[in-house]
Structure 1
Amino acid sequence: MLIREFTEADWAQVWPIVSEVVRAEETFPYDPAMTAEQAYGMWVERPPGRTVVAVEGDRVLGTAKMGTNRPGPGSHVATASFMVAAEARGRGVGTALCRDALDWARGRGYAGMQFNAVVETNHAAVELYRRHGFEIVGTVPGAFAHPARGRVGLHVMYCDF
């Protein structure tokens, strides 16, 4: 598996991953009715941010976006988001994307990385982030409407570099 910069040609494979994840309404607080055009504008980061894909041959297995969490006085902290195709889950794609994002942020001199809204029932993601040095610094109770579990919390997670 290779992690590389996103290209325009990748969108044809990235959009189905984004659409599948968002429409499941289990892990991302994005509008499940968003169009491909809206999703592109939300997912593809402009420099100095970055969007990448995890590929095996010519097949996109997952994608990540990363950049500055907040402008101005918060610009020393990075953020990132990850999505993996259903058929590629459990194969280390998320781990590889997370490592890549952390390396990118450290290499650009960020002081740390913050995730603003990790759904507390997304146990695979929470454990992945913990393995990479993130801590839950707070949880907003009931902030995410899960389709099967009702209102669940959103964690704020942070990794200090």
Structure 2
Amino acid sequence: MQIRPAAEADIPQILAIVAPTLAAGQTYAIATDLDDAGVLAYWLGPTHEVFVAEENGVILGTYYLMANQQGGGAHVANCGYMTASTAQGKGVARAMCRHSLTRAAERGFRAMQFNHVVSINTRAVALWQSLGFDIVGTLPKAFNHPVHGYVDSYVMFKTL
């Protein structure tokens, strides 16, 4: 598997991963009814440096890297990660997170923060913890999950 910057030719495969994940409404605090242009505007936004994890011409996952805040908080990175449904459980998210940590350090970020990790997304929480992220805050009932209703979200943080 190779992780590289996203290219224009990757857009259809990125859309095929990101659109259904956002529409499911289970992991990202964003509208679930975005059209393709809205999905791409979100994922490929001007502040996002976007990467893909690719194997044999097939994109297995994608992530973006950005500053979590501006001004005095611009030294802390933020990322969003998505793995194709056919590639889940195969180490793609772990590889993308490791890559993002290296890339963030290269860009001069001093830490990484995830603002809204849905508490019942236990695979993601465990993965981020295994990579050194700590839960530094709990946002009580901050996420309205389409199946489980209002659930907690975590703020997770790692110094680089």
**TM-score, normalized by the shorter chain, greater than 0.5:** yes
Contact 1:77 1:113 in 2 (8 A): yes
Question: In 1, distance between residues paired with 2:95 and 2:46?
Answer: 22
Q: Distance in 1 between matches of 2:36 and 2:102?
A: 29
Aligned counterparts of 1:11 and 1:86: Cα–Cα separation in 2:
17
Q: What does residue 138 of structure 2 align with?
A: 139
Which residue of 2 is the match for residue 84 of structure 1? 83
Corresponding position of 1:25: 25
Say if 1:79 and 1:114, in contact at 8 Å, map to a contact too. Answer: yes
Other-structure match for 1:108: 107
SS of the residue corresponding to residue 86 of structure 2 reads: helix
Measure how far apart 1:25 and its partner are. 1.3
- Say if 2:77 is the partner of 1:75: no
The answer (yes or no) to whether the contact 1:66–1:79 under 8 Å persists in 2 is yes
Mind listing any 5+ residue stretches in structure 1 that lack a counterpart?
none
Once superposed, which parts of structure 1, at least 4 consecutive aligned residues long, lie more than 6 Å away?
Answer: none
Gaps of 5+ in 2: none
Q: Which amino acid aligns with 2:6?
A: F
Q: Distance in 2 between matches of 1:9 and 1:15?
A: 11
Partner of 2:15: 15
Q: Which residue of 1 aligns with 2:3?
A: 3
Instruction: Give the alignment's Cα RMSD to 1 decimal.
Output: 1.1
| 1:123, distance to aligned residue in structure 2 (A) | 0.7
Q: Which amino acid aligns with 2:3?
A: I
Query: C-alpha deviations, 1:70-103, integer Å up to 9, x for none?
Result: 1111001011010001110000000011001100
State TM-score, norm by structure 1: 0.95
TM-aligned CA deviation for residue 46 of structure 1: 3.3
Deviations 1:110-153 (CA, angstroms, capped at 9, x unpaired): 11000011100111111111111100010111111111111001
CA distance in structure 2 between the partners assigned to 1:66 and 1:108 by the alignment: 10
Q: Say whether the 8 Å CA contact 1:45–1:67 is kept in structure 2.
A: no
TM-score, length-scaled by structure 2: 0.96
How many residue pairs get aligned? The number is 160
